[in-house]
Structure 1
Amino acid sequence: MDWYTGSVLGTGRSGALWLLVGFVVTYAVTRWVTTTIRRRTERAAARAAAGHADPAQPSRSPIKDVHIGGVHVHHQVWGILLVLLSGLLVIRFDPGSPWLEVLAAAFGVGAALALDEFALWLHLEDVYWSEEGRKSIDAVMIAGVVVVVLLIGSTPLGVDRFEAEAGGWWTFTVVLVVHLALTVVTALKGRVVLALVGLPVPSIALFVAFRLARPESFWARRFYRDKPKKLARARARAARLDGLRRRVRDAVSFGGFGPAG
């Protein structure tokens, strides 16, 4: 409790912490529920194809899709409503502890429910388990990384006012300009997520800014045109990273994509 009071509550990080807890727990539970429903539906369809059951027979399990007036209500609807409600309450009442933490957790719950169906926002159709549905996993991972960075980072730009005053404002300005330049380079190299992470964690931007760009990025199109060897290395590296990212997305989605196992 002393650790929580001193390191979390006393530093103003409690809201971000409970937001992260609500986000991660809700996402895990949501994916477990949707995977359970999907596998049960496919098993019922397989039994029906073999002539053993009626696929239209309703399930007695409490874990099932929600229908209101014959319309399937996706969980992103509840997520969006919860994000709006918790955000409005924080803006209107500016609550202190413990209500700030409660509303932060509620915001995290809503964000997880909404972002888990991000691909449906984008395509305006149910692509949850299709290839396009991987965009939802990307959105969830990006949001998770941003919240973690905000939780552990001191300020959005990695330098606080006291450090600036101690080192002198000219030094602070030079460091800030260099930091922002490295962040922009990181984004131009096609590493947008790492650029966002690099804002509060300058070492990330410094590292990625000197790495190979993604082959489809602005940086590669501008600076690798006359460097076929470097472009080939960039493509090979991107292929390895894309393969790793694909495996991570399938693992994070629990059920993967395509036919259920």
Structure 2
Amino acid sequence: MLVASVADAYRDGIVDTGREPQFLFLAAFLVTFAFIRTSTHMIRAGVSWWPGNVSTKGGTHIHHMVFGIITIMVVGWVAVTGELGSPAREICAVLFGIGTGLTLDEFALWLNLKDVYWEKQGRASIDAVIVAAAVSGMLLVGFRSWVDAAKSVEDATIAAVAAAGLFGAVIAVVNAAKEKFGFAILSFLVPGVGLIGALRLAKPRSLWAHSYGKKRRARSEARYSGEAIKPFWKRRGGLRDRFALGLGVGRGR
């Protein structure tokens, strides 16, 4: 039953939408890259039963990207000159994926024009494969799917912003009721900061403090006694005095 379900999903999502060649290309590309990368590690490790490098009679090592380039050239010529139907189109897609996998596995070599497969620069080959696989996967999924996903994200973002705005407004009202007008203003901009003021004790003469019992009212009066109970712009040594000192008000010339 599981196999049948997978087959139905493949037919509905890949075959019926005309994306089977793209899928076969991507699958062949990834499988080829995994195989050839494993093969090179086996050869380097000197595994006796694993086939070695391909070399000419003169001892010249033939890199596997050569076979990849030849495969891509042949498949490209067939695709351009022929009118491909099924299954020729699917076969070409698989061969093109194989050729691409063989070629990009040695991307660093034809980028640097020297054998850096096992060097630090060889990392460029893996980066190229990751980029190619990501782009191919995106194209396989289709731009329509990405547009739908983006729309869903946009709707979710709008909902999140609206919720944050509503939350900020509620927090601003709470801060205003506690006579914490600075926090009330900040609540609209950064609700998280406004929440700090909303959770702390209200000033003893505020509207919110009328709901306090004796103990909480006493705590509030102790915290906001004297200068602390005044608005910040009226406190001695506060913002007003600092601003005046900064301007040199009251100082002799």
- TM-score tier by shorter-chain length is 0.5 to 0.7
Larger Rg: 2
- The answer to whether structure 1 residue 107 and structure 2 residue 113 are counterparts is no
Quick one: distance in 1 between partners of 2:121 and 2:92? 32
Contact 2:42 2:50 in 1 (8 A): no
1:154-179 per-residue CA deviation (whole Å, 9 max, x = no partner) reads: 46x956xxx9xxxxxxxxxxxxxxxx
Quick one: distance in 2 between partners of 1:144 and 1:94? 27
Q: 1:12 to 1:77 in 2, by over 3 A?
A: same
Quick one: distance in 2 between partners of 1:125 and 1:67? 17
**Structure 1: which amino acid aligns with 2:16?**
G
Quick one: distance in 1 between partners of 2:150 and 2:131? 18
**Structure 2: which amino acid aligns with 1:80?**
I
What does residue 128 of structure 2 align with? Answer: 139
When the two chains are superposed, the root-mean-square deviation of aligned CA atoms in Å is 2.5
1:94-136 per-residue CA deviation (whole Å, 9 max, x = no partner) reads: 3122211111010000000000000000111110010000000
Q: State the TM-score, normalized to the length of structure 1.
A: 0.51
- The answer to whether structure 1 residue 68 and structure 2 residue 71 are counterparts is no
How far apart are 1:88 and its partner, in Å?
1.5
Task: For residue 30 of structure 2, give the secondary structure of its aligned residue in structure 1.
Answer: helix
Q: 1:144 to 1:123 in 2, by over 3 A?
A: same
What does residue 16 of structure 1 align with? Answer: 22
- The answer to whether structure 1 residue 127 and structure 2 residue 116 are counterparts is yes
**Structure 2: which amino acid aligns with 1:67?**
S
Name the % identity: 40
Q: 1:64 to 1:202 in 2, by over 3 A?
A: farther
List gaps (5 residues or longer) in structure 1. Answer: 41-58, 164-200, 207-261
Q: For 1:158-237, what aligned pairs fall within 5 Å after superposition?
A: none
How far apart are 1:5 and its partner, in Å?
2.9
- The answer to whether structure 1 residue 39 and structure 2 residue 45 are counterparts is yes
Q: 1:151 aligns with which of 140, 147, 150?
A: 140
Q: 1:13 to 1:61 in 2, by over 3 A?
A: same
Quick one: distance in 1 between partners of 2:150 and 2:127? 23
Quick one: distance in 2 between partners of 1:112 and 1:124? 19
Quick one: distance in 2 between partners of 1:94 and 1:3? 29
- The answer to whether structure 1 residue 93 and structure 2 residue 82 are counterparts is yes
**Structure 2: which amino acid aligns with 1:24?**
L
Quick one: distance in 1 between partners of 2:22 and 2:108? 25
Q: State the TM-score, normalized to the length of structure 2.
A: 0.53
- The structure with the largest helix share of the pair is 2
Quick one: distance in 2 between partners of 1:139 and 1:112? 10
**Structure 2: which amino acid aligns with 1:32?**
T
